[in-house]
């Protein structure tokens, strides 16, 4: 199975900041990496698919880069509604696997 490792596990930030979350795969997954946002008590929501493609309706302050084994999710000009937990997920092969999550706190 492909292991996904996110860092950091949590971070504290302020409105208006830029944050970066890293996701590493245990083997090459090309660009088959997706990002999700989850708020307490809610289902995850797709933010970015295939490394850098913004899902419809997602603000442009979210961005994704990377390839192979290292990927990043960046959020510029952090907004109050962005405080949530973010997960990466590989879709290169089965089983689909997720990172452990990064909690973005105020």
**Is position 71 an interface residue for other proteins (rule: CB under 8 A)?**
no
User: Tell me, what DSSP letter sits at residue 3?
Assistant: -
Token digits of residue 78: 């952090």
Token digits of residue 103: 């909690």
**Is position 50 an interface residue for other proteins (rule: CB under 8 A)?**
yes
**Is position 83 an interface residue for other proteins (rule: CB under 8 A)?**
no
Work out which of 19, 49, 78, 84 binds other proteins, going by CB under 8 A. 49
User: Tell me, what DSSP letter sits at residue 44?
Assistant: -
Select the span of 17-25, 41-49, 62-70, 74-82 touching other proteins (CB under 8 A): 41-49
Angle (CA) 22 87 37, round 5°: 115
**Is position 58 an interface residue for other proteins (rule: CB under 8 A)?**
no
């Amino acid at each position: 199975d492909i292991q996904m490792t996110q860092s950091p596990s949590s971070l504290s930030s302020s409105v208006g900041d830029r944050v970066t979350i890293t996701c590493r795969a245990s083997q090459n997954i090309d660009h088959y990496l997706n990002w999700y946002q989850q708020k307490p008590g809610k289902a995850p929501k797709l933010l970015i698919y295939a490394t850098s493609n913004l899902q419809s309706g997602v603000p442009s302050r979210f961005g994704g880069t990377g390839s192979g084994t290292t990927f990043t999710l960046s959020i510029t000009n952090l907004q109050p509604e962005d405080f949530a937990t973010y997960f990466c997920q590989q879709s290169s092969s089965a089983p689909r696997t997720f990172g452990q999550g990064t909690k973005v706190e105020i």
